[in-house]
Amino acid sequence: MKTLAITSPTGADHITPEGHPERVARLEAVTGALASLEGLERREVRAAAGRDALSRVHHGAHIDQVFAASPAEGHVSLDADTWMSAGSLNAALHACGAVIDGVDAVLDGEAEAVFVGCRPPGHHAEPDRAMGFCLFNQIAVGALHALDARGLSRVAVIDIDVHHGNGTQATAEREPRLFFASVHQGWIYPGTGAAHETGRHGNIANRPLPAGAAGDTWHPALDELIEAVRAFQPELLLVSAGFDAHKDDPLAGLALDDGDFARAGTALAGLAQESANSRLVCVLEGGYDCPALERSVAAFIGALQAA
């Protein structure tokens, strides 16, 4: 697939307290992965997301709260896990803008696959609150941009982060044009994502896996989700590309390796080619062991390029 990577230097200005796992070094790992890939087109995000784009997903009170909390210096805690520094708001707005940019790129034929390598992550941010390192839910912002601003009828999100994307699911629960599917480790943070959570519109599919599950268990679960998304017939496929299901990651307990992420990239590219008009946008979420993150991102994007 013709593949484009979109990044933003503002991610380096989102400074978390010392020892926090969601740290600037993650962005450096992603940058190293992108630099290692031959033939990968790269550019920076064109613009930060505006309030209108955020408002398709988030309540006005939440947007106001995040803006008001932005500190002039030092750190502010929004919850036990989620922190802001002076550069965090701008980084989050550019991360949302980068997903919008990626959606536009595939819809306008600039690329077939886009990888958005920005931070902070977003899939835990709910319509009315920040949580789990996430300020705004950029993949949901991109999905609603595709539906409301670009006129698509059906968009799907597949979340492969080790933690369930509760914020994206919350958006799908009120938006039947959006299909949300997640494979994740069950019964850990944020405590959502049980198999019986299918949404009142039947547009949600969850595959929670036990601690210790490796590729031989994980890939069949992903294949089930791929079939569910194929039946939905999306016009655009978005992927919450978390890499914290890696066996070396410190925040969870699944046991994937670099090759599993390459295999996932191949499978997701195939789904986009067959069922989503060769339109695929992948958005960085978790991944907290930096060497594993760098290798896994390179393997994943390399598979997209080769598809």
pLDDT at 293: 98
List of the chain residues with pLDDT < 70: none
Q: For residue 149, with 0-12 CB atoms within 10 Å meaning exposed, 13-18 middle and 19 or more buried, which class applies?
A: middle
Give me the domain span that covers residue 213.
3-306
pLDDT in the model for residue 183: 99
CATH of the domain at 156: 3.40.800.20
Give residue-wise pLDDT tens across range 152-167: 999 999 999 999 999 9
The catalytically annotated residue of 124, 145, 184, 246 is 124
pLDDT of residue 220: 98
Domain count, the chain: 1
For residue 149, give the nearest of 234, 63, 52 by alpha carbon: 52
Separation between Cα atoms, residue 14 and residue 16, nearest integer Å:
7
**Predicted local confidence at residue 175, as pLDDT:** 98
pLDDT at 55: 98
Indicate if 201 belongs to the active site.
no
pTM of the model: 0.98
From the number of C-beta atoms within 10 Å of its C-beta (0-12, 13-18, 19+), residue 200 rates as: exposed
